Amino acid sequence: MAKIYADLVEKGLRTFEQIPAPIRKAVEEELRSRGEEKLFMPEI
């Protein structure tokens, strides 16, 4: 499930905030493993 949400975030179809809270950590780890840290970091 985390891989599916990570794919959606990468494609711009979901934001990190739209991911259900219980699996956010797993999605964050998946994005980090793909080298996509910028996708879940909030902009200042």
Q: What is the pTM of this model?
A: 0.77
| Residue 19 placed within a domain | yes
In contact, 27 and 36? CB cutoff 8 Å? no
Give me the domain span that covers residue 10.
Answer: 2-39
pLDDT score recorded for residue 29: 92
Instruction: Show the CA angle centred on residue 44, arms to residues 40 and 18, nearest 5°.
Output: 35
If one counts the domains in the chain, the total is 1
Tell me the pLDDT tens digit for each residue of 1-44: 999 999 999 899 998 889 999 999 999 999 999 887 776 665 55
pLDDT, residue 23, reads 96
b vs e for 6-37, b when ≥16 Cβ sit within 10 Å of the residue's Cβ? beebeeeebebeebeeeeeeebbebbeeeeee
User: For residue 44, is it within any domain?
Assistant: no
Cα(44)–Cα(30) distance, integer angstroms: 23
